[in-house]
A = this chain, B = another copy of it.
């Protein structure tokens, strides 16, 4: 087993001495940095950083780390997060009828490849309920109509709270979440079945076929109020040819969707992603 570590993700206006400030905070309290990566976006004037250190030998009690670090970060006008590696994140998976991303994420969490628990599956249909049962995961069914959407979303938000969910993963969830929902629970990853911004919106494979592209892609992004406009975490592509009909694009796309979404979820779970504006830093 790996020993427990703490990770800080931080972004703030660039100013001299930031790396030294962060490193000194950890070192002076007895911590040993095992990964540190800093990036300066010169055009945005922004410093972005990820530091991970071993908790063994670190002489601040856990509950003191955040307030102690705040004393450094607040004067910097910084956005920051603190995570402990032995706190296992809790995921909620959201699906409609397609099972490939759901099965893939369940396999990866069960096998330990992804360090997360999945206590909750949400769906607007009942088709995938048997998979939830098979894995012993609670399944909540919310049929959505235009009329009932506000009420359903309120219930969904209550569920996320009740299950203490850290991240909602839209694993082929074919419903648009309202901007109100996203504002109240902003930690949501989606998989879109195209190489965004190409073919945003509905039926991307059909439109890719009609356009005659030679490559199709998939994109995982955080969900924002603007559909398909959220900050991109991961993308990948696969080559297609004139022999591939729409059904082949869909089939090839499924493999992409599984892998792209899994990579994005993994980066998030390892606290490697910082968002600023429409852009993300994904630390290596």
Surface stretch bound by B, among A33-41, A148-156, A162-170, A178-186: A33-41
Asked if A65 is at the interface of the complex by the 8 Å CB criterion, the answer is: no
Number of copies: 4
Asked if A279 is at the interface of the complex by the 8 Å CB criterion, the answer is: yes
Q: How far is the CB of A281 from chain B (nearest CB, A)?
A: 4
- If the complex has contacts A23-B23, A35-B39, are A197 and B196 also in contact, measured as CB distance less than 8 A? no
A194 to B217 alpha-carbon distance, docked (Å): 14
Asked if A259 is at the interface of the complex by the 8 Å CB criterion, the answer is: yes
Q: Which residues of B contact A33 (CB under 8 A)?
A: 16, 18-19, 38, 40
Q: How far is the CB of A253 from chain B (nearest CB, A)?
A: 12
Q: Which residues of B contact A237 (CB under 8 A)?
A: 215, 237
Surface stretch bound by B, among A67-75, A80-88, A206-214: A206-214
Contact B236 A211 (CB under 8 A): no
Total residues of chain A contacting the partner, CB 8 A: 69
A209 to B165 alpha-carbon distance, docked (Å): 32
Q: Which residues of B contact A278 (CB under 8 A)?
A: 210-212
- If the complex has contacts A27-B16, A198-B197, A217-B215, are A242 and B34 also in contact, measured as CB distance less than 8 A? no
Surface stretch bound by B, among A119-127, A137-145, A227-235: A227-235
Contact A211 B195 (CB under 8 A): no
Asked if A17 is at the interface of the complex by the 8 Å CB criterion, the answer is: yes
Q: Which residue of B lies closest to A279 (CB)?
A: B212
A281 to B37 alpha-carbon distance, docked (Å): 14
Q: How far is the CB of A111 from chain B (nearest CB, A)?
A: 8
Asked if A20 is at the interface of the complex by the 8 Å CB criterion, the answer is: yes
Partner of A280 from B111, B212, B251 at Cβ < 8 Å:
B212
Contact B241 A284 (CB under 8 A): yes
Contact B259 A235 (CB under 8 A): no
Q: Which residues of B contact A77 (CB under 8 A)?
A: none
Partner of A279 from B28, B242, B280 at Cβ < 8 Å:
B242
Q: How far is the CB of A187 from chain B (nearest CB, A)?
A: 18
- If the complex has contacts A212-B279, A212-B280, A259-B255, are A24 and B20 also in contact, measured as CB distance less than 8 A? yes
Partner of A232 from B17, B212, B251 at Cβ < 8 Å:
B212
Contact B213 A235 (CB under 8 A): yes
Q: Which residues of B contact A38 (CB under 8 A)?
A: 33, 35-37
Contact A34 B42 (CB under 8 A): yes
Q: Which residues of B contact A235 (CB under 8 A)?
A: 213-215
- If the complex has contacts A237-B215, A280-B242, are A36 and B34 also in contact, measured as CB distance less than 8 A? no
Q: Which 6 A-B pairs have the closest CB atoms?
A: A212-B279, A20-B23, A198-B198, A20-B27, A19-B23, A16-B32
